[in-house]
Chain A
Amino acid sequence: MRQLVRSLGLVALGAAFVTAACSNPVSPTDTSPGALDVRIAVLDIYPNQNDLAVVMQFLSGGKVVKFASGETVTCDNVALSFNGLTSGYAGRVPQLAPGGKFQFVYTRSGTQTTVEVTAPARPAILTPASNANVPRTTSLTITYTPAGGAALRGSARDATSSEGSQGEQRTTASTRVWTSPWARPGPGRSA
């Protein structure tokens, strides 16, 4: 549960993709698919875990929707429940191999509406090499294989803490170099 909250919190606070609830969610009369805007966030940021966090958010007139008439939301047959932290229907589902398709299903009055989301390949890090000695400099370069996507973020962890790069870097170059100021020299700090 702690991991779920952490992951979903990142969706809401880091990506800021789903709409934050500035007021209480609404339960509109018309919950037909054509009346709903949908935002889906998939957060597959812990590659060593077997599952990942998903959020399916519904908006009506720009306001977050919390259904009140028996509508259900699932992803790969896992029931998603409304989560106030993400202002959407959230849960954890098993990871899929690249190319696999997540099935987000909204059911209203027995009628299903499905959105498929294809799992992409993970970023392929070229350097630093696995288990390489990396100096704690103020500028760390990570090279990686070019691939699709709107943006990249870098991160670094030691035994007790982690840091992420500020903002996002566009993925436009053919040879990708990530330079980030997080690896600062100096004494360690507590998490």
Chain B
Amino acid sequence: MGKAGPGSVGLTRILRYTDTSTAFKSVAVEYSVSSDRPVTWS
């Protein structure tokens, strides 16, 4: 990350779990959700 000027920082939260409430043999879920925040690199 080298250029001065406008940019952003971000975070991604990762949730992982299993769901045993369905008729499938097994269910595993991974959910990735992000936020961004505009910044100015100096």
Contacts and interface: CB of A to CB of B under 8 A. Distances in A.
Interface of A: 15, 17, 33-48, 106, 113-117, 119-125, 128-136, 140, 142, 144, 147-163, 168, 171, 178, 182-189
B28 A40 contact: yes
Given A41-B30, A132-B39, A136-B4, A149 B13 contact: yes
B41 A136 contact: yes
B39 to A, nearest CB: 5
Interface in B1-42: 1-16, 19, 22-42
A125 B10 CA distance: 8
Interface of B: 1-16, 19, 22-42
Contacts, number: 196
A168 B10 contact: no
Given A123-B33, A156-B1, A128 B39 contact: yes
Nearest to B42: A133
Given A40-B29, A117-B29, A133-B39, A150 B9 contact: no
Contacts of A115: 19, 22, 24, 27, 29
Contacts of A116: 19
